[in-house]
Amino acid sequence: MAYLFVHEDREYLLDPGERFESDLGILEVPEDVEPGDVVETHLGTGFTVRRLRGPDLFTHLERTGAPMMPRDVGLVVGKTGVAAADRVLDAGTGTGILSAYLGRIGADVVTYEQDPEFAEVARQNMEIAGVADTVEVRTGDITDDLDDLSGFDVLTLDTEDAPTVVERTPTLLDRGGSLAVYSPFVENTREVVATATEVGLDGVETLDTIQREMDFDDRGSRPSTGGVGHTGYLTFARRP
């Protein structure tokens, strides 16, 4: 299992037994290293060992595109109520941030990624996140397997063809199961909402996820003027 090695504003993701060289010296990582240990380079620079947490995944997993932001992951977890031992069906793996978060909660995740290279990177990322045993990354298009998929507690989608999958929600989800669909565009979101309504899902709602940082200085406090803070649209619903 990889750990974070932190010194001031620097942090590196390293494995036990790994040798790492930087301008701060050579770091020989012990095989029996544990979180909380302080490991020194040959120049005497100390690195504190830290266990990888959710927000660290966003920083350190290898990216194959724009990953889902922690604010959006939080909404998915909060609105679906996903919990340990839940069965989750996901499509649009990408970097695998959402799947990794859900796996670390204790859910059993099956996630689909169409690009073979992206899928392989996602598998490696699941290893880093420590969830390779609970997150299965499948290479392919979820729409090809819809007839063989059923009995899930949560369905999460981040794909252009999400409406096609939403149409099959009544057979994919158990009763009371939750749906979460992420889209960067309003047009796709409108189609998802229309489809969810047509197939009789309950509590269909869409949230525009906007978040602003706060600035604090000697003059006063105010929301930051940098950036819009918008990431995308999240649509939620449940199977009755």
pLDDT tens-digit series, residues 25-46: 999 999 999 999 999 999 999 9
What band does 227 get if pLDDT is binned at 50, 70 and 90? Answer: low
pLDDT of residue 226: 73
What band does 63 get if pLDDT is binned at 50, 70 and 90? Answer: very high
In this prediction the pTM is 0.89
What b/e sequence results for 200-210 when a residue is b if at least 16 CB atoms lie within 10 Å of its CB, and e otherwise? ebeebebeebe
With 70 as the cut, is the pLDDT of residue 187 above it? yes
Average pLDDT of the residues in 104-125: 97
Q: Are 154 and 176 in contact (CB under 8 A)?
A: no
Give bridge partners of residue 112 from the DSSP assignment. Answer: 91, 138
Give bridge partners of residue 208 from the DSSP assignment. Answer: 233
Q: What domains can you pick out in the chain, each with its CATH number?
A: 3-50 (no CATH), 56-238 (3.40.50.150)
Q: How far is CA 28 from CA 5, 24, 98, 222, in A?
A: 11, 12, 32, 45
Q: Are 93 and 120 in contact (CB under 8 A)?
A: no
Q: How far apart are CA 239 and CA 76, in angstroms?
A: 16
One-character DSSP codes across 54-83: HHHHHHHSPPSS-PPPHHHHHHHHHHH---
